[in-house]
Structure 1
């Protein structure tokens, strides 16, 4: 059968749905409505004469025909993407869309300070930033790159450092510390109210400390558990308890006296933020420009 213009558009929609196994997530990536995707897929299936997807209220899976089609057409569309991206070399100004999946603190501390300058320099490059601490496969999720702390970057990806190492500190409000006292050793935390950190894989984080050759990883008693440091920060400012933070996130509150650091002689320095992306895909021009600008401005040092 001969391919037509509608088939090309609908195949792009189909590939996004196949990657995400979700109409709603594919719609977010493509910038269209779920009803648009549903209508397009029905049209494609009718023209091809086969069912490509099994759809229920809870899941989307590929049929045998859908799996075969996705495997066959994915590479040609990747080649087209590369060909279109090379056109940026011939434009007066780069254009395109960059999708990033980043740790929440990275969006706040690393990207937010550089976004105004990026938009000013490259107004035709659209940034689509998804801030989440949930670990995802950026390639399968349709992202151009991810940004995470260095120690959590997948090993099969190309990674580039975007910040200096980050010190991790325990902080609490003066109100809390005046009421419950100041810990002088990590083990003292076992007798304090703490706000725990839930990691992207749902594990509760063990607070890590080091002094000289001594290292301690402590599962603290939790009054509250959060999956975003910003949520815990609001609670800690309100006197709920102590929390383990990346120091840049609390620096201004320490400076103005709203928070105090404790156990600073036990505070470890860990790998900073890294950007990572697949080695199998050409780096989009917009992504390269974003990396260059972060390194130029260095909001968290380098």
Structure 2
């Protein structure tokens, strides 16, 4: 009697839908070699080739087309049954691993992550902060959290908060000594606190007005790679810093810092949760997605 594991059947459907082993492996969260072995094992057991492979393409054979047409609906029914049972589980258990940046963690730790743990007391959460973007699939993470424009295009995206607006800020003492820039070009005559990105490059300050977008390589003798340090330096009058409004709003309200060039720094898409486009996501991740939807409706993810 021919027997095949659900993993092998899922492998066939993934390769069929994705048109190749590499993309299918990313979807399933396994290596390409492991995926190839699963399908080869199933083909050997069945005694029939399901895919015609070449160096340029992977396409279903006639037998493979018939197999997928028959197995696909059955697997979908199994997935649906598992999802419905999973929804009735009293408590989610295990560890939810998230890759994100330090700044994003500051924004979502209290309103999202700690609330998630309060509601799911059997869950552990591991957050790894990195400046550089990593392949969450390959590194064993359940999901990532980044600004929308940084998310890889083949991921499922769940917006977390509203858009984020940059703010160019400086201390009152700095502006007394140097004056205020009226247009971005004036920054060439100012001291700017420059930011080194995880890639090693220096961030070019981004501007937009009346449909025109551009970036400037601003001058400055101080280069930092941490936004908290940039904020501290700006408070001390070391220069102008390009940060997010949510990070400086308390200082602005208290009069410790002043904002300039606000008309030139429009908002950009905010943070989002993202994860591989699997057909079914684990209950632990689905509960985080549900919480995000709930919090977005209440508008509580704008502040750290």
Q: How does the TM-score come out when normalised to structure 2?
A: 0.68
Query: Paired residue for 2:300?
Result: 299
Aligned to 2:214, the other structure's residue is in SS state strand
Query: Paired residue for 1:110?
Result: 108
- Counterparts of residues 261-280 of structure 1 (less than 5 Å): 261-280=259-278
CA distance in 2, matches of 1:141, 1:98: 13
The yes-or-no answer on 1:289 pairing with 2:287 is: yes
Of residues 185, 188, 192, the one that matches 1:187 is 185
1:10-56 residue CA offsets vs partner (Å, 9 max, x unmatched): xxxxxxxxxxxxxxxxxxxxxxxxxxxxxxxxxxxxxxxxxxxxxxx
1:217-276 residue CA offsets vs partner (Å, 9 max, x unmatched): 101113222233222112222221111111111111111111111111111211111111
Query: Paired residue for 1:223?
Result: 221
Query: Paired residue for 1:169?
Result: 167
Question: Structure 2, unaligned stretches of length 5 or more?
Answer: 1-30, 42-78
1:49-105 residue CA offsets vs partner (Å, 9 max, x unmatched): xxxxxxxxxxxxxxxxx99679758xx9xxxxx9xx967545311112110011222
Contact 1:102 1:132 in 2 (8 A): yes
Contact 1:135 1:201 in 2 (8 A): no
CA distance in 1, matches of 2:300, 2:225: 24
Contact 1:133 1:227 in 2 (8 A): no
User: What RMSD over aligned residues (CA atoms) do the two structures have, in Å?
Assistant: 2.9
1:148-185 residue CA offsets vs partner (Å, 9 max, x unmatched): 11111111211121111111110111122222211111
Query: Paired residue for 1:144?
Result: 142
CA distance in 1, matches of 2:162, 2:104: 13
Larger Rg: 2
Contact 1:104 1:131 in 2 (8 A): yes
What's the offset of the Cα at 1:147? 0.9
